[in-house]
Each structure stands twice: as C-alpha cells, then as structure tokens.
Structure 1
Amino acid sequence: MSAVILDHTALSALGAGNRGLSRLVAEPHRTTEDYVVVPALCLAAATVERPALADHVGSLPAINVVELDFSGAAAVGHLINDGADWRMAHAVHVARPNVEWPDGCTVFSSSPDQYRQFGIPAIPVSSMN
C-alpha cells in the first residue's frame, strides 16, 4: 500500500490537463492499494488560482482530502513559522512519517526543491506529462 500527495501546484497542473496526473488519479480506481492524498490547505490554495478545481477534485473518488485538525493546525503553524510557504506546509505535515504511513509519503509538485529542505521526497510534476 502506498500514498502520494498532490500539493497546490500539482492540483493546478491536474486542473490544466496534465496527462500523467490524470492517469495517477484514475489508476487508484483499479486498485485499493494506492492512495492519492490532497491536504485541505493545498486544495484551498489551488482553488484560489483555479476556482472550479475544488468541485472537480471533490468529484474524483480516488482522491482523499485530508482535513486539518487541531494537532495538524499546530504543526502547520510551526512549519510556517519556520519558513514554509503556507500553501505547502500542510503537504509537508501530511507527508512526514506517521502511524498510518510509517515511511512517510512522496509529494508531487512543480517546486520539489521546497520539500527537500524539509526532508520530504518530491517528484516534479513536469516529469508526469
């Protein structure tokens, strides 16, 4: 079982028709072993740029939107205080190792270097097309 995270830039690319990302969100329909995760703050940030994106993402059964609870909000706040861009901080928090994903998760992003400074593996969206 594995999970990948789409950040705000990957969501914008998905909304713009990136074929690789479109395949990624379609493939989990065929298997229950893979998860595509979207942190709520990333969805909010992408929706600012592409207003119809939230409805589109919400209609895709393969995508799991991760809410921001109390402990997550505190962790994201600390990340932002440490210099993380608010649009990516929730993705960093979700990607870190936890009980559900002991090895952590990989983030798809147009800015993968921003994640590497936090020790998060990231794949450039440009390699997905």
Structure 2
Amino acid sequence: MSDHVHIVFDETAMVAAGRGNSMTSRLIHRANEDADWHLYAPACAVVEADRTRPGTAEHIASLPGIVILDLDLPAALGIASKDTWGAAHARYAAEPNAERPDGAYIATADPHRWAGRPVRVLDVNP
C-alpha cells in the first residue's frame, strides 16, 4: 500500500473546480502543498469539461497541482469502445498501473454516474 494519494478529476469535478467548488479547491491546494498528493486531469475529460463550461480547459491547465494525462495509444485503445470518452479516460486513468499501483480515486460532482463500476469515488459536492 502506497502513502501517496492519487485522484483523477472527471469532467464534472473540473467544471465544479471552475465554479469555485470548495472541495475541489481544497484538493488542489493539498496537491500543491503535499508531495504525496497527486491530481490528474485526463485530456478527454478536459475536453468534455470545456464543452460543458467554456474556459474550463484553460483553467485546469493553468493549475500547477494538476497533471494533464495525454491520450496515448494504450489509453486510446482502452477507451475507444466506450460511449463517452471523458468518463472512459477518467476510469482508465484511475485503474492501477506502474505509476499508481493502487489505482486512484475519481473525484466527481456526479457520483451516481459511477454506481456499479469498479472505481473508488470521491464526491466533491458540498
């Protein structure tokens, strides 16, 4: 078990961050202050967030505590058959891998969308 905390923002959490959501603000602050906390924004989810709330992509990309995860070939192959690439890329990013052996939590403002899926969810609603 790792001492590191890994959190993937889905598009709903990114939109919430752009609207001044207190929970996402605390997560971003914590990631800036604590080297053991890591926040991720999958590129496909960034696109979906920006479609929902224009300007979100620039806002998320400007935050030093958030790592933008590119859509590389393994990610593209992992999400290609899914309905919404934003959610699929977030789920793919939260799966265990070499960098995140325990996987990651998915921060979301819509926890019901993840019901029945094998992911750990962090509800960012107040």
Q: Distance in 2 between matches of 1:102 and 1:39?
A: 18
RMSD of aligned C-alpha atoms?
Answer: 1.3
TM-score after normalising by structure 1 = 0.88
Contact map agreement 2:5 2:37 (CA 8 A) in 1: yes
Report the Cα offset of residue 116 of structure 1. 4.0
Deviations 1:59-109 (A, max 9, x none): 11000010011111010113x0xxx53320000101011111111110011
- Misfit runs of 4+, over 4 Å: none
- Kindly indicate whether residue 69 of structure 2 is the aligned counterpart of residue 70 of structure 1: no
Give the alignment of 1:74-89 within 5 angstroms. Answer: 74-78=77-81, 80=82, 84-89=83-88
Does the aligned pair in 1 maintain the 2:42–2:86 contact within 8 Å? no
Instruction: Tell me which residue corresponds to 1:51.
Output: 54
Alignment coverage as a number of residue pairs: 123
Deviation at 1:46, TM superposition (A): 0.3
Uncovered stretches (5+) of structure 1, i.e. residues with no partner: none
How far the C-alpha of 1:52 sits from its partner, in A, is: 1.1
Native 8 Å contact 1:116 1:122 kept in 2: no
Give 1:26's match in structure 2, choosing from 11, 29, 33. 29
- Name 1:92's counterpart in structure 2: 91
AA of the residue aligned to 1:109: T
| Structure with greater helix share of residues | 1
Structure 2: state its 5+ residue gaps: none
Partner Cα distance (1:39, 1:4) in 2: 11
